[in-house]
Amino acid sequence: YDLTQPPSVSVSPGQTASITCSGDKLGDKYACWYQQKPGQSPTLVIYQDSMRPSGIPERFSGSNSGNTAILTISGTQAMDEADYYCQAWDSSTVVFGGGTKLTVL
Amino acid sequence: QLQLQESGSGLVKPSQTLSLTCAVSGGSISSGGYSWNWIRQPPGKGLEWVGHIYQIGSTYYNPSLRTRVTISLDRSTNQFSLRLTSVTAADTAVYFCARAATYYFDFWGQGTLVTVSS
């Protein structure tokens, strides 16, 4: 099972960034998203398609339908510049997307 | 607050066995409803799931690594371990241990770099 993400996305500060994750019937599974900054472990920012863990800002939101999950960052800030990975479970195994580098410029 | 800490050899020779341990504190690996995972990240590349083990001992592995991977639990020390045999340079990566709740990883270790080189 494969999950496909764009390698890079650029956004201006204060604007909305959208990062897609595509997989066969992904909407039938739970998708989640991780943020990873250089030299750090990944941090969960969205789980079960659209839930935000405690401490994650409200500007992070998620959706999942059909073959595509989307991570949306509203009012993007410089601190949001990072790599983002989607992830799903498929038959007791785990799959990650290839990652998207978000540039805020 | 749950904490995970990886430890093990940072340098492994080609064809030998990579061994890592993840020490869990602030919670028990015997708690139901979670799995204990290994995930790796080659330098400059993305995340790759290696495998996981449930508290009852059942294991699942990445199909691409299945023939070389073993994950085990040690309830007496609250640790779980990874063994990867017949390593090559392609196994050079930062290895993370992580806890999975229902369909997502909620706690991660800081990661440990393992280099395969003679």
Which sign, positive or negative, has the C-alpha torsion A20, A22, A28, A29? negative
Query: Per-residue pLDDT averaged across B15-33, rounded?
Result: 94
Q: In chain A, what residues touch B39 (CB-CB under 8 Å)?
A: 96
Return the residue of B nearest to A44 by Cα. Answer: B106
- State residue B67's pLDDT score: 96
Tens of pLDDT, residues A57-105: 999 999 999 999 999 999 999 999 999 999 999 888 999 999 999 999 9
Residue of A48, A53, A85 lying closest to B46 (CB–CB):
A85
A13 C-beta neighbours (distance < 10 Å), count: 12
Residue of A43, A53, A96 lying closest to B47 (CB–CB):
A96
- State residue B18's pLDDT score: 98
- State residue B66's pLDDT score: 95
Q: Where residue B102 falls among pLDDT bands split at 50, 70, 90?
A: confident
Q: Quick check: B104 and A47 CB within 8 A?
A: yes
Q: Quick check: A42 and B49 CB within 8 A?
A: no
Distance CA B47, CA B50 (A): 10
**Dihedrals phi, psi of A79, to nearest 5 degrees:** -70, -10
Query: Per-residue pLDDT averaged across B58-84, rounded?
Result: 96
Q: Quick check: A88 and B60 CB within 8 A?
A: no
